[in-house]
Amino acid sequence: MEPSTLIKLVQHYSPSGQEAGAVDYLIGRMKGLGFTKAYKDEVGNAVGVMGEGEKQIVLLGHIDTIPGEIDVRVEGDILYGRGSVDAKGPLANFVDAVASLGQVRGWQFVVIGAIDEERESLGARHIVDQYRPDFAIIGEPSRWDRVTLGYKGSAQSIVTARRVMAHSASGEETAPEAAVAIWEKVRAWVDDFNADKPRIFEQILLSLRGFDSGDDGFETWANLQINARLPVTLLPEAWYNQLEQLAAPETVERSGFAIPAYKADRNTPLVRSFLKGIRAAGGKPGFVVKTGTADVNIVAPVWECPAVVYGPGDSSLDHTPNEHISLSEYVKAVEVLSEALRAVTKE
């Protein structure tokens, strides 16, 4: 199969908030490839449906990218361009694989190119209550011969310390000093939590994303912007409760959308179908879990169906100025996914 779907999709630069051109292209491409229907939904996601069966598989990718346009070009086997890996490669793979399989009696395939994944995942949040599929496949890069089973959760917060203004010679604790003390206390707690957990996926990954301070002439303040990547064993609510205890009596503001971690079961018909597809394409299957967060964290707990994350590309190239993908790997991934869909619909 020629990788024209991927190349043309990458040519439509689509940072979050500017996805319309890429969405329109993908809808037209799915119509041209024989999808039963293809359309733009209420929030701007590209949706393509193949077949009309009662059983359903949703293939959810994202069509937006981070900002930073890269000259789109093909050099030998390599396609350069923003989104070639994250995550237009996996999304185009969904379209081409479903098109190559065509309609399957009793089944419906729904391919979604979701908007805004790189910001607040508005696209995924819109569709999560509209579908209840039998299986779900989420598009993110992990190489053609590996299946991703899990992503960490995420929780963001702003901790604010306040102190009455005092002369610098007074010796009284300042708001910045109080904030630094809180950060050290939180970090010590996290180190203790992680101490008996050798695997990174089981640990809390803590980062200080910003620090600022100021005063109004009467009161000083200092803000810590804290991000925590959470394991499956620690829900966001429990993390926030712990953070509030550690920061007391200072205030903790929850920011953004907190997302729990997700880990799929290996022993499902969906996973077995991918193992079969990878082996049929000449590969040795592998499993991976990621320290980031993806739309699978949003949809899989709600849909409560077997779910995996799959897609061609080297995830270490995500968000880099050298983002590129092997076209031969892409073709392999289309082969794998086509066989996986064929196998799971026959179980």
Residues that are catalytic: 64, 117
- Which pairs with CB-CB distance under 8 Å and at least 24 residues apart come from 193-201? 193/234, 197/231, 200/291, 201/150, 201/152, 201/231, 201/232, 201/263, 201/289, 201/291
Place of tokens 């293809």: 38
Rounded to 10°, the helix 327-344/269-280 angle is: 130
Q: Which residues pair with 154 in a beta bridge?
A: 229, 259
Give the C-alpha separation, 252 to 237, whole Å: 13
Strand, coil or helix: 186: helix
Within 10 angstroms of residue 145's Cβ, the number of other Cβ atoms is 20
Distance between CA atoms of residues 125 and 43, nearest Å: 10
- Residue 27 CA to residue 54 CA, distance in Å, equals 23
* CB 263, CB 289: distance < 8 Å: yes
Amino acid residing at 245? Q
End-to-end CA distance of the chain: 26
Q: Is the dihedral of CA 81, 86, 89, 95 positive or negative?
A: negative
3-state secondary structure of 148: strand
- What does the DSSP assignment read for 235-258? -HHHHHHHHHHHHTTSEEEEEEEE
Q: Distance between CA 290 and CA 304 in Å, rounded?
A: 20
Give burial (CB, 10 Å; 0-12/13-18/19+) of 342.
Answer: middle
